[in-house]
Amino acid sequence: MLLTDQIKMLLRDVPDFPKPGIIFKDLTPLLEKPAVVRQVVVAMADHHSRQGIEAIGAIEARGFLFGFLLAQELAVPFIPVRKEGKLPYKKLRQEYALEYGHASIEMHEDAIVPGWKVLVHDDLLATGGTADAAGQLIARLGGEVAGFSFLLNLSFLGGEDLLRGKYKRDLHYLIKY
């Protein structure tokens, strides 16, 4: 069975979460299958292995799950991109729009060595607002957005167009809806 088919079988749709009209893609059943998780990490790492990635900037919270494993597989630093108020040290903040509201993310001001090529990773691409905000933080800290990595792309929400148009960088995902 193809990896994409295995992933799709393990995802769970949760209607009306976090608010009415949203269908949440729950990946926790996937996390119960270590062999599939390993295949996902290897597939993502294989795609990005020749791009000179120097760090992974992964977005809280579900982006941490595979972002950390991807950083380990590529043997590069892991940079947490967190929701506002979660980081203990000096930080930069970036606001952005969600498909169902507004939010802010933060990074420690010393998280990136200037000039680093940083891959932005999250579990899901929707409108692209969160990934774009992470890209803006990386640029503000002197890094270069090397590309974007996702498990899922909800293509009907336009995030891929936003990121490809703005960054002109590699954008990779395993599943497209």
Q: Would you please indicate which residues are annotated as catalytic (active-site) residues? A: 62, 99
Sign of the CA dihedral with 123 first, then 70, 119, and 6 last: negative
Here the tokens at position 9 are 């079988």
Alpha helices in 14-154 (DSSP H): 28-31, 34-48, 62-74, 129-140
User: How far apart, in Å, are the Cα atoms of 111 and each of 82, 106, 118?
Assistant: 12, 11, 11
Pairing type for strands 101-108 and 91-98 reads antiparallel
Here the tokens at position 139 are 């640029």
In whole angstroms, what is the distance from residue 171 CA to residue 177 CA? Answer: 15
Q: What value does the CA radius of gyration of the chain take, rounded to a whole number of Å?
A: 15
